[in-house]
Amino acid sequence: MTTLDELLSVEDITRQAREISPGRTLLTWIGALLFALGWVLRKTFALLWLASAWAFVAAREGWREAGKPPGARVSRATG
């Protein structure tokens, strides 16, 4: 039966762990955080822009429809 010690070399894992630079690791985490923050902000503002543009166009169409004489209004809900 194969044991975990035979599959994994503790010395190799220790050597690789000692090669990790704390400063570079910290900078990587900071960079990843800033990237994620920028991505979320971009998606949020894009959604807000779309919602604002949609609301503006809907209000403009309502204004135009309300300005028509009562007989000229067309109900789009009935098709």
Q: Kindly report the pTM of this predicted structure.
A: 0.57
In a domain, residue 61? The reply is yes
- Residue 1's pLDDT is 60
In a domain, residue 10? The reply is no
Structural domain span for residue 64: 16-72
In a domain, residue 1? The reply is no
- Residue 74's pLDDT is 66
In a domain, residue 5? The reply is no
List of residues 6+ apart from 65 with CB closer than 8 A: 73
d(CA 65, CA 79): 16
CA angle 45, 38, 52 (to 5 degrees): 0
Number of domains in the chain: 1
Per-residue pLDDT of the chain (79 residues; tens, 9 = 90+): 667 767 778 888 889 889 989 999 999 999 999 999 999 999 999 999 999 999 999 999 999 999 888 877 666 665 4
- Residue 42's pLDDT is 98
The residue among 78, 48, 79, 76 whose CA lies nearest residue 62 is: 76
In a domain, residue 38? The reply is yes
C-alpha 27: how far from chain center: 22
The three-class DSSP label of residue 71 is helix
